[in-house]
Every structure is written in structure tokens, then in C-alpha cells.
Amino acid sequence: MLSRSPGGKSRATRPPAQAPRRDWPDAIARQRYDDPARSLVMQRIGELVRDGIAEWRLLGNHDVELRLATGEVFLLSSRTITRIG
């Protein structure tokens, strides 16, 4: 990207860096899961997120926090789904 400096000369500038978004639906839904059933469930939940019915984010321990538009909150871990709110 080029921009003009106060003296009128062109200079190359870099666009501002964006932090990686780990809460994008595809970032979570497209992860590789060993269990085919879990893979299918995560894909379907990803569709809810893409449709705006839910939001999710990947936690530091690789669990997923899922928030539905109706207010329910779930913790999706490697073996269980727990309603936490």
C-alpha cells in the first residue's frame, strides 16, 4: 500500500496487523477430530455459528465455549458437553 508523506513523497506502508481470530466458525469446525461423531457435531454447531444463532471461542486448553443466542452457555470438551449457564 502506498501513502503520501507530508512532503508529498510516496512511501510504502503496511496495513495494520490483525490479531488472528480463533473464534471463526471454520477455525473450530474444521479442526481434525479423531471421532467421526464429534467431527459431525462440531460441523453442525459451526453452521449455527455461521447463521448467527450461536457464538463460540476456543479456550487455551482446546475446549470450546459455546454461547447460544437464547442465553445458554456450554463447554465442549474432548469427551463431554456441559451446560454451564
Q: Where are the domains of the chain?
A: 35-85
Q: What is the pLDDT of residue 21?
A: 47
Burial class (CB in 10 A: 0-12, 13-18, 19+), 45: buried
Residue 82 bridge partners (DSSP): 75
Question: Phi and psi for 40 in degrees, rounded to 5?
Answer: -65, -45
Mean pLDDT estimate for the chain = 76
Where does residue 10 fall: left (phi above 0), alpha (psi -120 to 50 degrees), or beta otherwise? beta
3-state secondary structure of 45: helix
Residue 57 is inside which H or E element, if any? strand 54-58
pLDDT of 64 strictly over 50: yes
pLDDT of 1 strictly over 90: no
pLDDT bracket for residue 34 (50, 70, 90) = confident
Average pLDDT of the residues in 68-80: 92
Residue 65 · residue 56 · CB < 8 Å:
yes
Q: What is the pLDDT of residue 68?
A: 95
